[in-house]
Amino acid sequence: MGKKIRILGWDGADPDLAAAWMADGLLPNLQRLTAGGGYCGPLGGVTPPVTFPAWTTCVTGVTPGRHGIIDFTVIPPGTRRLHFVTGANRRAPAVWETLSAAGARCAVLGVPATWPAAPLNGVMIAGFDSPLGGGITPSHVYPETLLPLARHWRYADTDEHFTGRPGWHHRFAEHLLARLEDKLAVALQILDMEPWDFFMCVLGEADAASHHFWRFMDARSPRYCRDDSLATVILRAYQRLDAFLGEVMRRSDGDTVIMVVSDHGFTGAGIHQASLNRYLEECGWLSRRRHPAAGVKQMLLRAVPATSRARLARQFPRLFGGLEARARMGGIDWSRTRAWSEELSYFPSARLNLAGRDPDGIVPPEKYRETVMELAALLEAWEPVRRAVPRWECFDMPGQEFAPDLIIEPAAVNGYPWGFCRRQAGPSTRILDQDSYAGGREQGFNGVHRNPAFFAANVSCGAAAPSLTDITPTVLGLFGLPAEGLDGSDLLAAGKKSFPSRSNKGLFPESAKVHRRLTPREEAELEDRLRRMGYLD
């Protein structure tokens, strides 16, 4: 039947941290995995290093422009609305769909941007992108018979409900690691169900730990805070993932290919912050008008406890679900604005107000590229920006139509990147006060994403610089399946074996394809969820 494959996704695992802890003997199973000539090192990511597009690139073998998952949200052309992205927006087949069609038995757990769970030749627990919050429902799993076991798979409940309260870091650390234990127990039970041809499990706890505990680990960080009990939280998360790797290795024979993959790395956040819209306003590219949306949103966030917002979102979905869109766009005078930014801290970018594409657009379409380059030069002359990259250099079509016109790479101060935030008044740059260093719910993070990602495997790698796009072609190559038309390549120079095809009759009836938009209620709940996790301001 060919080789069996195990992919363990360590969301947010950083190659420098992994290398240092391996050298210190703190990740013995990762060391053992690669000791026989396997690869261990950096993995090329996506631009910018955002969870949804990165994991979708990993499991499709194509870039975000081709698979269409650019971010958590998109602004449909011709609108000033936000749509929240789910697995139904993916425009390229996932690797387990191709394998299922060839008859391979697949188990897929926790991969971001896979909700709602779609039929496959095996089992699935969808990733954290469900709008239904921490509770598991039938839409999270395939088949529904998996539901009783899947109820023990915990989503980001601690990220949402514990952060922000006095002394929350200590409580959060214990809950985070307890949540990981619950998920690992479920994963091992599913791994032991049958000899899966393909098993993939993504765990997000290293990412969550790095977001919230970096300042306690990194003594060079400008946000550093000494707390010996919190300094090892990130390491403890890595070590528990390493122990799970050991369990997978113990259950595998010599022909099983095991990969450890992350979607991006990590670094500490700086203390310098910038507001793109304030800078564009200072430079005459953006004009504001009086609009209550941002003030109403902030008042609501302060007044309503996080645990109550989901209930309000269900009762008033259209009102609640549009708050984020109105906060990003409601205070802008479009008749006098050439460019603007959504001011997302994890995805700094800028958009033109383009006539023919955007409501009330004023930039002539024939001057699109000229204006993009003019704006890029303006931004690159500003201290917080290292590079402003036109979207046509980052994204292929068709996904390019949903991308911002300029993607911004932050500059760094002493090795720590500028942060980007939303501000309605005051100067366009500032230095954070110490009370804000920790971050937390609705305050950003003290650890932030960066490239490269991380990759380790028990087989040698034929490429000098492997990339996320290479993972799916490598898997398909191991099963003897074609990978034409993908953006990556097979990382293994030899050892390919054919995978005998079995009939897939009945695996994918027409009703199996899940294509639907979120309801207003689901969009409102998902918006609130992403805000409580810290991805929206």
What confidence category does residue 439 fall into, taking pLDDT thresholds of 50, 70 and 90?
confident
Q: How confident is the model at residue 494 (pLDDT cuts 50, 70, 90)?
A: very low
- The CA R_g of the chain, rounded to the nearest whole Å, is 23
Its sign, for the CA torsion 133, 138, 141, 147, is: positive
The chain-wide mean pLDDT, for the chain, equals 86
Q: Out of 200-209, 388-397, 518-527, give the one with best mean pLDDT.
A: 200-209
pLDDT band at 59 (very low <50, low <70, confident <90, very high): very high
Reply yes or no on whether the pLDDT at 435 is more than 70.
yes
What is the distance between the alpha carbons of residues 326 and 318, in angstroms, rounded to a whole number? 12
- Checking if the pLDDT of 34 tops 60, the result is yes
Task: Please give the pLDDT value at position 180.
Answer: 95
Query: Measuring CA to CA, which residue among 198, 73, 214 is closest to residue 131?
Result: 73
Integer Cα distance of 160 and 373 in angstroms: 39
With a cut of 60, say whether residue 486 has pLDDT above it: yes
Give CA–CA dist 264/346, Å, rounded. Answer: 12
CA neighbor of 453 nearest in space, from 126, 134, 43, 97: 43
Give the DSSP H/E element, type plus range, for residue 124.
strand 122-125
CATH number for 5-154+170-219+237-269+450-532 (one of 3.40.50.10470, 2.40.50.140, 3.40.720.10, 3.30.420.10): it is 3.40.720.10
CB atoms within 10 A of CB 362: 14
Give the neighbor-by-neighbor strand order of the sheet with 419-420.
419-420, 272-274, 429-431
pLDDT, residue 330, reads 73
- Neighbouring C-beta atoms of residue 514, cutoff 10 Å: 15
CB 257 within 8 A of CB 455: no
Q: Which of 149, 82, 87, 136 is nearest to 112 (CA)?
A: 87
Indicate where the chain has its CATH 3.40.720.10 domain(s): 5-154+170-219+237-269+450-532
Which is higher by pLDDT, 181 or 400?
A: 181
Q: What is the DSSP letter of 83?
A: E
Under a CB-based contact definition with an 8 Å cutoff, are residues 50 and 71 in contact? yes
Q: Quick one: pLDDT at residue 282?
A: 97
Is the pLDDT at 295 greater than 50, yes or no? Answer: yes
Q: Tell me the whole-structure pTM to 2 decimals.
A: 0.87
CA distance 5 to 259: 8
**Average confidence (pLDDT) over 448-453:** 96
Specify whether the CB–CB gap between 351 and 332 falls below 8 A.
no
Report pLDDT digits (tens) over 127-154: 976 544 556 889 899 999 999 999 999 8
Q: What is the mean pLDDT of residues 405-412?
A: 96
Residue pair 200/472 in contact (Cβ under 8 Å)? The answer is: no
Closest CA to 445 of 524, 342, 536: 536
Ranges for all domains in the chain classified under CATH 3.30.1360? 272-289+332-431
* Mean pLDDT of the 227-247 span: 98
Answer yes or no: CATH 3.30.1360 is held by domain 272-289+332-431.
yes
Please state, in angstroms and rounded to a whole number, the distance separating the CA atoms of residues 119 and 103.
Answer: 13
